[in-house]
Structure 1
Amino acid sequence: MNRTRRTFLQLFFAAIARAASLSVDALRDPAAPAAARSYRADVVISLLGVHLYSKQAAGSAHASLSETTRDGRRKIALSFSGGSHPERVHGVNYAGSSEEIAIECAGDLIQAVSFGFVTASPNDESFEHARRRIADGSAHEAFVAVEELHESSRVRIRKAAIAAPIDSVRSKFCEACPSEQTLAVPGVPAMFLHTVLRAVRSPDPATTAAYVHNGRRYRLDTTRAANSITGKIHDFETGRRSEFRLWLEDGSDLPIRIEFSPRSYLHITLEAL
């Protein structure tokens, strides 16, 4: 493992280790065996079909999955984190992390909790706005952090903006006096990573499932090929659609390759190491 990727992962693990009063901490089982996979992030920037920039190893990512069963209940813990290496991409500093714990009984979801954060930037930021923000030096360590508790008929959401180093986001979340809201929903709504995992494990050639993420309703439609899954995300609030693709290998639920485009001009490929 090279120094850049090792330093990046150490920061994320430090962020996770700094305990706060979070629902996800109360349900985590540190002793549960986990499957894990690290990735190299390659990026391509293009505008109107014109290739502008590409970089291998522009960032890193890490995914993990653990499961335990006790008293007829299965606890599934999922995490995904990733970010850029600023020294390799002209100072661009972007990072995000998501942890989920889902509890199932007889195959049905009965409770779920999550905590995640991402570098603060407008969801619809254009290429030109991003370029100006970086050129002006206004890309700094400011994060939007969200905690969710999914229970029968409701989702409790707590959200806060935090200007702090990445390894302090978790510990400062409660200090930031997060705003709170409750979303009324039917049943116990799924979370994103758990929804993707169910699609990966499904033998069906196509799946459709609704979920709630960051207090918003989405639908994930997937189609399966021989060794890959294509996912299409529908945002019910904005009507926007996005797509990703996962490549899988036998015997593992964690992809060996992931492709997605968080912006219309930005394409990211994660290759397993």
Structure 2
Amino acid sequence: MTTRRRFLALLAAPWAQAQGLPAGSDRIVAYRVDAVIVLFSAPIFTRSGVGEGVLYFRKEDSGAGRQLRLAFAAGSRPERARGLNRFGYFSESIRMAENAGAEAQYFGFMTRSDEKNIKEAERALHTGTGGVPVVTICGEARDGRHLSRLTNLELEAGAGWSVWPRCLAAAARSLNTDAPDPSRSSGSSGVTTFLHTLSLLLEQTGSRGETPFLYGRNPRRLVWQRSPDSRAGHEFAARHLVEPGTTVMRFEADIIDESTRGRSRFTLWHDPAARPSLPLRIELQPRSFLRLRLEAVEADTPALRATMMNSFDAWLGPASAVLQAGL
């Protein structure tokens, strides 16, 4: 069992900003997912522990430069979520050499969810128990170019959060076996991938801004603002997630698709002095009728660390092979 002290050491770097993350070190944050059903913007039902999540950050410095690996995985527990089976994974591998631009690869998959209202969500609970449809994405940015590929596939029956590493391996293997799907390319000079962009913003001090990032075929940007949240700071201190008196920031952001003008919003809370500065709480509303809150919790971090480290081995090779011809 991981002690609270050990969990806090993994959750964030030492509180003094001057003490950064050592070379070759990683951090893990585990989350409990709570759900709120909303009707006409008013909450009508709340349930705790409907799912789980994990965020992984690794920095490794060497004579050749710096490598970052960032990953996030989350999913529902059907026995706690009225049978709803939703899960996904997204990760990035970034290489930065001295006197050269960053090179990045990313890969992710998530279950397809087309429900637009509560009635459609109810019907989805009673659909067949066959394969599980998912969407995968992979991309690479280097030499000023960005290439990405989006694919639809179906995982075998029984796919779910409890076996998500196995699902990740199957989704990655499909990249080499699916029928060709035209990849999309665009300029990428000076623009970073999504998780990398977010990690950089959380260590900055600006109160608001707009920041482009790379993900998929369409240009995207984050429109964000941040402010101190003393109430959240007291809550996290009471749960021993931060030291008493720590200034916790509330970071609100809209993701804007420049081509479709689509917009999605999320909010997270973090300690800006920690290195890396990882979210203590995440809130998002994937559907008009559903709000999700991810709260940092204690977990078996050695097992989580091994799982997240191994997840990169599952997709880096297949994704590189698919994208190599276009770069």
State the TM-score bracket (shorter-chain normalisation).
0.7 to 0.9
Flag the 1:109–1:246 CA change in 2: closer, same or farther, 3 A.
farther
Tell me by how many angstroms 1:63 deviates: 0.2
Q: Which runs of 4+ in 1 moved over 6 A?
A: none
Residue 134 of structure 1 corresponds to 125
Tell me by how many angstroms 1:207 deviates: 3.1
Note the alpha carbon deviations across 1:16-50, whole angstroms, 9 max, x for none. xxxxxxxxxxxxxxx94210110000011112124
Output the CA distance in 2 between the equivalents of 1:267 and 1:70: 42
Tell me by how many angstroms 1:141 deviates: 1.8
Output the CA distance in 2 between the equivalents of 1:160 and 1:178: 9
Output the CA distance in 2 between the equivalents of 1:218 and 1:267: 23
Task: Answer whether contact 2:116 2:288 (CA < 8 A) is retained.
Answer: no
Please state if 1:261 is matched with 2:263. no
Task: Answer whether contact 1:119 1:144 (CA < 8 A) is retained.
Answer: yes
Flag the 1:207–1:139 CA change in 2: closer, same or farther, 3 A.
farther
Output the CA distance in 2 between the equivalents of 1:104 and 1:217: 23
Please state if 1:146 is matched with 2:170. no
Please state if 1:234 is matched with 2:256. yes
User: Identity of counterpart residues, as a percentage?
Assistant: 25
Please give the secondary structure, in 2, of the residue aligned with 1:213: coil
Please state if 1:272 is matched with 2:322. no
Flag the 1:216–1:185 CA change in 2: closer, same or farther, 3 A.
same
Output the CA distance in 1 between the equivalents of 2:182 and 2:190: 19
- Structure 1 gaps, min length 5: 2-30
Residue 94 of structure 2 corresponds to 102
Please give the secondary structure, in 2, of the residue aligned with 1:194: helix
Task: Answer whether contact 1:160 1:177 (CA < 8 A) is retained.
Answer: no
Please give the secondary structure, in 2, of the residue aligned with 1:255: coil
Task: Answer whether contact 1:195 1:211 (CA < 8 A) is retained.
Answer: yes
For these two proteins, the number of residue pairs brought into alignment is 243
TM-score by length of 1: 0.80
Amino acid of the residue matched to residue 243 of structure 1?
Answer: R
Output the CA distance in 1 between the equivalents of 2:286 and 2:101: 28
1:85 to 77, 86, 89: 77
Residue 222 of structure 1 corresponds to 224
- Structure 2 gaps, min length 5: 2-22, 229-247, 298-327
Output the CA distance in 1 between the equivalents of 2:99 and 2:72: 23
Tell me by how many angstroms 1:144 deviates: 0.9
Flag the 1:264–1:178 CA change in 2: closer, same or farther, 3 A.
farther
1:6-155 → structure 2 map (5 Å cutoff): 32-71=24-63, 73-105=65-97, 109-122=101-114, 125-137=116-128, 141-155=132-146
- Please identify, of 219-228 and 177-186, the stretch whose mean Cα deviation from structure 2 is larger: 177-186
Note the alpha carbon deviations across 1:79-129, whole angstroms, 9 max, x for none. 00101001111110000100101223469852110010000123x733332
RMSD: 2.4
Residue 267 of structure 2 corresponds to 245
Flag the 1:270–1:109 CA change in 2: closer, same or farther, 3 A.
farther
- Structure number with greater Rg is 2
Amino acid of the residue matched to residue 286 of structure 2?
Answer: P
Residue 170 of structure 1 corresponds to 172
Tell me by how many angstroms 1:176 deviates: 2.5
1:161 to 152, 156, 162: 152
Tell me by how many angstroms 1:205 deviates: 2.0
Output the CA distance in 2 between the equivalents of 1:49 and 1:67: 41
Please give the secondary structure, in 1, of the residue aligned with 2:183: strand
Structure holding more strand per residue: 1
Please give the secondary structure, in 2, of the residue aligned with 1:216: coil
Output the CA distance in 2 between the equivalents of 1:223 and 1:37: 23
Amino acid of the residue matched to residue 193 of structure 2?
Answer: M
